Amino acid sequence: MSFLGAGSLARRLLIGAVVWCLVVLAGGAFALSALYRAQTVSLLEEDLDATLVTLSRAVEYSPEGRLVTDKAKLPADRRYEIPLSGRYWAIITLRTDGSFGRDERPPSLWDADPPIPPQLRARAIASPGVSVFGDAEGPNGETLRVGVRVIRLETGDRRILLMSAADRHATDQGAQRFLILLVGAMIALAAGVLVALVVQIRLALRPLARVQADVAAVREGQRTRLDDDYPSEVLPLAEEVNKLLDHNQEIVERARTHVGNLAHALKTPLAVLRNEAVGTTALDDVVRRQTAAMHSNVEHYLERAHAAARAQTLSARTPIMPVLDGLVRLLNRLFAEKGITLSADLPPGEVFRGEKQDLEEMLGNLMENACKWAASRVEVSAEMTGRAGIELHIDDDGPGLGEAEREQALKRGVRLDESAPGTGLGLSIVKELAELHSGELTLGESPLGGLRASLRLPRR
């Protein structure tokens, strides 16, 4: 099971958590950046406001009604002495119509007009005594933060507009650096949160992996039920699986019992009919043939019911080589007069996942059939088919079968050679037994020139 594959619950949880985390972190970064920028602008405005207060203390009207400034009280920052330094102030008289009159300015402003936007001037005039702030383009093309205040001196009726401006570059650059650091910190935090989410989701979903392993153990026959010590969120699932296992077992037991009862109930009437048909009439012959066919069917389905019962014993394990050795010795004795050489080559330690009786019946039927038709040699070999499967090949050097005959041979009750004894059920029983064990029987051409029967079975 892929942890983050398509359709994965972990993937859905992780994607949802990551999206929510990114939204929160991005929103947090935006909010913090905006707060930092607002704070730096606020500090700059406080500095500008302090300059406006200083300017207001440096101006007065002379007894002759002229506006004069006390040079000693003007802002002492050396940047005001450097032309176009990005730090400016201005003291401007306002005419009655709101236009600018005489002004006082530092060398930094040089011969440029005071950078006061009309909207900012209108706000200041509308709110005398209150500092208002805004942005404007400076004389050197820079972006300025401008503070403006309109005052009235006690010694006169005329209004005075005070302006203080500072280049925003340092403030904006600081905010930009803060944003870069903040984004880096948020990325690192997001990476840490992502790792924590992956670990947390894996830990949270670990009980499901345990349920999967336990269900696989039930399927492999290593246990019959799931445990009852799962977390409370997973325990109901385990309980339902156990109920399903119990229910399936009841159905299998009931069906097997019915088949067995029916088969045994038919045996006696069939025996009576067969014993009564001892004459030589055509009717006696028909009765004998039909009762023989019915008896064959009864035996077949009774054996199939027993095989199904054994196949349900999931915990059974049968070493393959001892069974093969026993069959080789037995068949060598049975076909000694025919001169058949029977050999088996199989890696040691291979185990069939099922009952010994089923393995003996499948291999016995196939090996006996090969000995019947072989000219001189029968070989049994093995081939691994993945981690949980083994394919046993029974080869003979007999006449073999054509493709159409091979298909017919696997059908129940079909006998390709009516002169040979038997019911025609051998290969079909092997095929059904293999399928009961999640296996498969196929027929093909043998390297020895005859028929190859390939029996694919689960192992381990």
Query: What pLDDT shows up at residue 2?
Result: 56
- Whether the per-residue pLDDT at 152 is higher than 80: the answer is yes
- With beta carbons less than 8 A apart as the criterion, state whether 323 and 360 touch: yes
Task: Determine the pLDDT at residue 378.
Answer: 92
pLDDT value of position 419: 44
In the predicted model, what is the mean pLDDT of the chain?
83
Query: What is the rounded distance in angstroms from the CA atom of residue 17 to the CA atom of residue 13?
Result: 6
Q: Of 41-55, 290-304, 408-422, where does mean pLDDT reach its minimum?
A: 408-422
Q: How far apart are CA 379 and CA 343, in angstroms?
A: 5
418: confidence class by pLDDT, cuts 50, 70, 90: very low
For the domain spanning 59-168, the CATH number is: 3.30.450
Which residues are 149's β-sheet partners? 162
Helix axes 235-276, 282-311, angle to 10 degrees: 160
Quick one: what percent of the chain has pLDDT higher than 70?
88
pLDDT band of residue 79 (cuts 50, 70, 90) is very high
Q: How would residue 412 be classed by pLDDT, with cut points 50, 70 and 90? A: low
Q: How confident is the model at residue 1 (pLDDT cuts 50, 70, 90)?
A: very low
Contact between 160 and 67 under an 8 Å Cβ cutoff? The reply is yes
CA distance linking residue 338 with residue 459, whole number of Å: 34
Sign, CA torsion 379/383/389/391: negative
pLDDT value of residue 307: 61
CA atoms 279, 284, 287, 289: torsion sign: positive
Sheet of 451-458, strands arranged across: 341-345, 377-384, 389-396, 451-458, 440-445
Task: Determine what percent of the chain is predicted with pLDDT higher than 90.
Answer: 30
pLDDT value at 241 more than 80: yes
Task: Judge whether residue 413 has pLDDT over 60.
Answer: no
Asked if 205 contacts 10 with a C-beta cutoff of 8 angstroms, the reply is: yes
Position 451 pLDDT exceeds 70: yes
- 394 confidence band (pLDDT: 50, 70, 90): very high
Contact status, residue 119 vs residue 18, Cβ threshold 8 Å: no
User: Tokens representing 395?
Assistant: 């080869």
> What is the reported pLDDT for 422?
45
Max intra-chain CA distance, the chain: 161
334-371, pLDDT tens digit by residue?
888 888 889 888 888 888 887 888 888 899 999 999 99
What is the pLDDT averaged over residues 246-271? 76
Amino acid at 29: A
- pLDDT greater than 90 at residue 9: no
d(CA 276, CA 17): 81
Choosing among 3.30.110.60, 3.40.50.720, 3.30.9.10, 3.30.565.10, the CATH entry for 318-458 is: 3.30.565.10
Query: Which pLDDT band, with edges at 50, 70 and 90, does 276 fall under?
Result: confident
